[in-house]
Amino acid sequence: MKRFLFAMMFLASGLLCAGQDAEALGKIGGFTLYGVDFSQTEVFAADETADEFINAFEGINILLLRERDKYVGTLEKKLGKTAIKTNLTSVIGALDSIDRSSLVTLSGVSRLSQEQIEAAVERLDTGDDSGTGLLVVADYLDKSRAVGAYTFVFFDIATRQIITSWKQDGNAMGFGLRNYWAGSLHYAIRHIRISGK
């Protein structure tokens, strides 16, 4: 019974976006996708090294280009919006700043704070881009539960003001480190539900 209740709570948290998202998203046209920011991510209860994870993080972002239909195409369908451009320069560059000594932990993980999410948007190098951006921030990867936790953030590129954001969890699946955690991202994208639509 406890397992059933836990599973239902997990589904509820993973499948629903905040109620105001439909209204906020309705004002957004096309957007620039800035990939997945792993620079503040914590990994719990994993056997692999920090360097192996950092290589996987880059690989996951590259999948957004190589397997566009699977990831970006599904995201576009779920949101009813078009990604007019994908710019991964900043999120891949940020991998060099990850503290390898604290990336993999055995002491538990938690969601990033609103301040940490805002900081991720602020330091994003958007170049000459304009309009609306979407950044996916990876909060944590929990191997003990096979779950990746993400925050999807739409923002005004010029002002860096957040338009709307929501938390989305995904079940990890797949062979190999990159594909396993890319599976959690794909799951999170596939299970986006915009309430109010």
pTM for this prediction: 0.89
pLDDT of 18 reads 41
Instruction: Judge whether 148 and 169 are in contact, CB under 8 Å.
Output: yes
pLDDT of 197 reads 56
Distance CA 56, CA 47 (A): 14
- Structure-block tokens of residue 76: 């576009």
Q: Are strands 162-171 and 31-37 parallel, antiparallel or unpaired?
A: unpaired
Sorted by where each begins, the domain ranges of the chain are 2-190
Tens digit of each residue's pLDDT (9 = 90 or more) over 10-54: 444 444 444 336 788 888 989 999 999 999 999 999 999 999 999
* Neighbouring-strand partners of residue 43: 104, 141
pLDDT of 23 reads 85
H or E segment to which residue 132 belongs: strand 132-142
Return mean pLDDT, the chain.
Answer: 91
Residues in the chain with pLDDT < 50?
1-20
H or E segment to which residue 186 belongs: helix 177-190
Cβ neighbours around 12 below 10 Å, total? 9
